[in-house]
Amino acid sequence: MGRALIVVDVQRDFCEGGAVPVGGGAGRARAIADLVGRTAGSEYTHVVATRDHHLDPGSHFSEHPDFKDSFPVHCVAGTEGSEFHPEFAPTVGTKVDEVFYKGAHSASKSGFEGFTADGTGLADWLRAREVTEVDVVGIATDHCVKATALDGVRADFDVRVLLDYTAGVAADTTARALAELGQAGVELTGVPVVHV
């Protein structure tokens, strides 16, 4: 039985200078790239990444976003903002085994809603490789990281969130997310990173 690392949405639009920037995102991109470089093939039997990949997500894009269910235009497929952050990008194809695209036509937050280019879902991909435990890192702690971790529990994986390798949007929403994760049985390690 193996453990996989799931890297959530380390993309240009979620880092400083992007359309929906999360403070500290670029720093987390560097830290995650280092983590992947150190541990791929040793602690983790597989490393995967998720990627927001919007084509026409409907009301998820809004000129008057509530930053809960709707957001400014971001991570549109084929744009620079949808690309992996340059600090993390070199690991994809070398240390990252697969990429799961999510949100083409909907407001998708969880990596478990994502699919490979050939249409395989994340849970099925992991089960096919006898993965039973997952560690989740990435951006943002209080949105897509939280959703991915909760769906991992629902899919019967043992889930840890490595908070040293996440970035949260705001202190209050991150605190609520951590409480929700803890109640769901997600193991939390490290210290949450929130730059206001």
The answer to whether residue 74 scores a pLDDT higher than 80 is no
Is 102 annotated in the active site? yes
Instruction: Give me the catalytic one of 15, 144, 146, 151.
Output: 144
The answer to whether residue 66 scores a pLDDT higher than 80 is no
Task: Please tell me the distance from the alpha carbon of residue 149 to that of residue 44, in angstroms, as a whole number.
Answer: 17
Classify burial at 25, counting beta carbons within 10 Å of its beta carbon; exposed 0-12, middle 13-18, buried 19 or more.
Answer: buried
What pLDDT score was predicted for residue 57? 67
Find the Cα–Cα–Cα–Cα dihedral 110, 115, 121, 127, rounded to 10°: -90
What pLDDT score was predicted for residue 196? 59
Q: Could you give the count of Cα atoms lying within 13 Å of 84 in the half-sphere of its Cβ?
A: 24
Strand partners, 84: 11
Is 95 annotated in the active site? no
Instruction: Give me the catalytic one of 13, 52, 95, 102.
Output: 102
Query: pLDDT band at 105, cuts 50/70/90?
Result: low
The answer to whether residue 69 scores a pLDDT higher than 90 is no
CB 174 within 8 A of CB 194: yes
What mean pLDDT is predicted for residues 75-100?
Answer: 92
Is 156 annotated in the active site? no
